[in-house]
A and B are shown apart, each in its own frame.
Chain A
Amino acid sequence: MLKIDGLRVNYGGIEAVKGLTFEVPERQIVTLIGANGAGKSTILRTIAGLVKPASGRIHLQSEDITGISPDRIVSKGITLVPEGRHVFPDLTVLENLKIGAYLRKDSLEEDLDWVYSLFPRLKERSWQAAGTLSGGEQQMLAVGRALMSRPKLMMMDEPSLGLAPLVVKDIFSIIKKINEQGVTILLIEQNANMALHIADTAYVLETGRLTLSGSGKELLKNEAVKKAYLG
């Protein structure tokens, strides 16, 4: 569904992504794992249109979407749940969800119901300012907000960051549930163990290059991966 071909990205004066080629097959959960500074976030930000690549192409279902603006990327059905959640703290929970559907002009009722059924907590708190939610609830809101754009592909940047282990488990089971309902997922994680357990396909990234790939299960058993990422 998404094809990345020879992607190079300069970020803050260094080449953060050095000629990367990989694929995200439709309806799968794909994960990129790698240490801090491996260029994972930069890849997602480039696909989302926030950063322009130096070279290489990005195709979505054979359509070239390299370097187009973030709003057009959203309208093509790609959304990014940013690292650190970044909900709008002064907007209410409901407003945060509505702003996720900013480009849509049709009725949102059905999607609100869908998001509320995935995250009943958000419904209870729909009139609260998002800044008053706990970290886990904010992550749920960030995911719900992304779903409101009716994405074909949802990219997630470190969804487990700074969350309690139980909450992380919840988030991952919901990611799986969302995927089962037809949304393709591209996930980057430092919590490699969790990510590999739910991933259909996984790639290992080191300083801007892919070093390994395989199914989540294969990489869980891989000695090098065990040593470097699973402790």
Chain B
Amino acid sequence: MQYALSIFLSGISLGGQYALIAIGYTLVYGILRLINFAHGDVFMVAGLFMVYLSSWFPLWVALPLMLVLTVLLGFAIERAAYKPLRSAPRMSVMISAIGVSYLLQNLATYVTGGLPKSYPNLPLLSDSLVIGGVSTKWVTVITPFLVVALVFALTQLINHTKVGMAMRAVAKDFETSQLMGIKINSVISMTFIIGSALAGIGSMLYFTNYPSIVPLSGALPGLRAFVAAVFGGIGSIPGAVVGAFIIGMSESVIKGSPFSIFSDAFTFALLIVILVVKPTGLFGEKVTDKV
């Protein structure tokens, strides 16, 4: 019983962290039809920002500053590597994204010397507590609630504000959006800003559970979150969240079983199955058929 509870707790917490990354993939895909391969590395760099900033500043400065820098990074990547390719074939933009991913990993290797950096202990988040006889960290309990609150705020923004309306319009039709007077570049920047901010918060929750961070720390969580986004139906925010919780939960279950080394194999096998059986994912975009 205790064992099941601990699996469940780590599953929803992991799922919540993947959800925050997966939303970044799905938002950008929804607008640019681009798989932003650099997103997992933005997540890793956010972790490194926190490592360095917390050694220089008190936490109440370091934390917001980390978020601001992560947002600026996401914004700058879009302006420098994707915006000049706006009218290029989609493949070119994707290759540019892969390039940015390697650039970030290598810059991180250069700055850290390739050595693992220990992630700071965050008060409250890193503290332990005991639920139903299971000892865990506060972050495990806080994550799902924080994720639900953030997703709620995001859907409100998208469905009930002018910026959100512009985002939905640009996602459907660049040219007509321009005719409405919408500056599509600002809207695209906005999506990168939101995606990066969520990745920054996600990195804080995720790395609190790990002793250290290396330049490749973003790669696997990034890929798992990507699978989650595809599983849920890329382009859909509820899809990304549900997909992320499913991926997080199954990873946790398998890691707690005798087959723990197969946990990633299972995740990626799931990707293949989804692509074969239902390529649009659980909540994928409906294709409107004209009757």
Please, which residues of chain B bring their CB within 8 A of the CB of A131? 288
Report the nearest A residue to B171, measured CB to CB: A90
Please state if A99 and B165 are interface contacts (CB–CB under 8 Å): yes
Please, which residues of chain A bring their CB within 8 A of the CB of B178? 49-50, 70-71
Please, which residues of chain A bring their CB within 8 A of the CB of B288? 89, 131
Asked if B153 is at the interface of the complex by the 8 Å CB criterion, the answer is no
Please state if A100 and B180 are interface contacts (CB–CB under 8 Å): yes
Residue in A74, A75, A89, A90 whose beta carbon sits within 8 Å of that of B179 in the complex? A74
Please state if A90 and B168 are interface contacts (CB–CB under 8 Å): yes
Please state if A103 and B181 are interface contacts (CB–CB under 8 Å): yes
Please state if B169 and A71 are interface contacts (CB–CB under 8 Å): no
A82/B176 contact (C-beta < 8 A), A70-B181, A102-B182 known = yes
Residue in B165, B168, B175, B181 whose beta carbon sits within 8 Å of that of A71 in the complex? B181
Q: Which of B43-81 contact A (CB under 8 A)?
A: none
Asked if B183 is at the interface of the complex by the 8 Å CB criterion, the answer is yes
Report the nearest B residue to A89, measured CB to CB: B288
Report the nearest B residue to A149, measured CB to CB: B181
Please, which residues of chain B bring their CB within 8 A of the CB of A71? 178, 181-183
Count of chain A residues with Cβ under 8 Å from any Cβ of B? 25
Report the nearest B residue to A145, measured CB to CB: B180
Please state if A74 and B181 are interface contacts (CB–CB under 8 Å): yes
Please state if B172 and A79 are interface contacts (CB–CB under 8 Å): no
Distance in angstroms from A197 CB to nearest chain B CB is: 27
Asked if B197 is at the interface of the complex by the 8 Å CB criterion, the answer is no
Please state if A70 and B165 are interface contacts (CB–CB under 8 Å): no
Please state if A88 and B179 are interface contacts (CB–CB under 8 Å): no
Distance in angstroms from A134 CB to nearest chain B CB is: 11
Please, which residues of chain A bring their CB within 8 A of the CB of B182? 71, 99, 102
Please, which residues of chain B bring their CB within 8 A of the CB of A70? 178-179, 181
Please, which residues of chain A bring their CB within 8 A of the CB of B166? 99, 102
Query: Which residue numbers of A lie inside 8 Å of B, CB to CB?
Result: 48-50, 69-71, 74-75, 79-80, 82, 86, 88-91, 95, 98-100, 102-103, 131, 145, 149
Query: Which residue numbers of B lie inside 8 Å of A, CB to CB?
Result: 162, 165-166, 168-169, 172-173, 175-176, 178-183, 288
Known: A74-B181, A98-B165. 12 other contacts (CB 8 A): A70-B178, A71-B182, A71-B183, A74-B180, A88-B169, A88-B173, A90-B168, A95-B165, A102-B166, A102-B180, A102-B182, A103-B181
